[in-house]
Structure 1
Amino acid sequence: MTGEVRVLVYHAAEDPAAIEEAYHQASNRLQGVPGLRGNELLRSVHDQNGFVVASSWESLEAFQAWEQGATHRDSTAPLRPFRDTRLPVPFAIYQVAAAY
């Protein structure tokens, strides 16, 4: 295992422009967070309202330190109204098991 982590947060939005704007706001707030390698906004090809913010972290410890820190909620606040409430758990955390 590499130690790297991917965090997926599921969102739903009828207005793609609104979630894209929220994504850019949150991403600007996240610049310089230790251990964050980057993130992407993905749109489902099967559900026109389905979106995922996928972030890449150098380790689970780096992600947990940020998640438990004081800036976590403020940084992601623009995206919070779009959280996909259709799902019982609107996020997932995966550790990279293998990569090429």
Structure 2
Amino acid sequence: MANRLRIAVFYRAPETDPGAVERVYHEVSATMKGTAGLAGNELLHDVLDPAGYVVLSEWTDLAAFQAWDTSPGHRSTSPLDEFQDLDPARRKSFALWEVIAGY
């Protein structure tokens, strides 16, 4: 049996639009419905940092994720790209995440 795969992508809501990540997450999740190998995804909100989010997706296996990752369908998530939190200074040794939505 193949192992399931979970992927976490960190996001940050802009000060000018604190609801942006949540809004775009719902739009992107709607486009990904039925994606082969995608078992589901959740939007997690950082309890201690109101601007911090994580999208946690679960895939049936690495091969399914890789097939999607190299497909044109991968671009369906691009609206979230502008909110990715790439600042390593914000990485923590732990965090408290509240699940606020899931598909």
- TM (norm. structure 1) is 0.80
Structure 2: stretches of 5+ with no match in the other structure: 90-103
- How many residue pairs match? The answer is 88
Structure 1 stretches of 4+ with a deviation exceeding 3 A read: none
Is 1:64 aligned to 2:30, yes or no?
Answer: no
Shift of residue 17, structure 1, vs aligned partner: 1.7
Residue 86 of structure 1 aligns with which residue?
87
What amino acid is aligned across from residue 79 of structure 1 in structure 2?
Answer: L
User: CA–CA distance in 2 between the matches of 1:44 and 1:36?
Assistant: 24
Q: Among residues 23, 26, 33, which one is paired with 1:24 in the alignment?
A: 26
SS at match of 1:71: helix
What amino acid is aligned across from residue 81 of structure 1 in structure 2?
Answer: E
Q: State which drifts further: 36-45 or 79-88.
A: 79-88
User: CA–CA distance in 2 between the matches of 1:65 and 1:9?
Assistant: 18
Per-residue CA distance 1:36-73 (angstroms, 9 max, x = gap) = 01101000112211100000100010001000111102
Structure 1: stretches of 5+ with no match in the other structure: 89-100
Percent pairwise identity: 47
Residue 48 of structure 2 aligns with which residue?
46
Higher-RCO chain (CA-CA 8 Å, sequence separation at least 6): 1
SS at match of 2:21: helix
User: CA–CA distance in 2 between the matches of 1:46 and 1:86?
Assistant: 17
SS at match of 2:20: helix
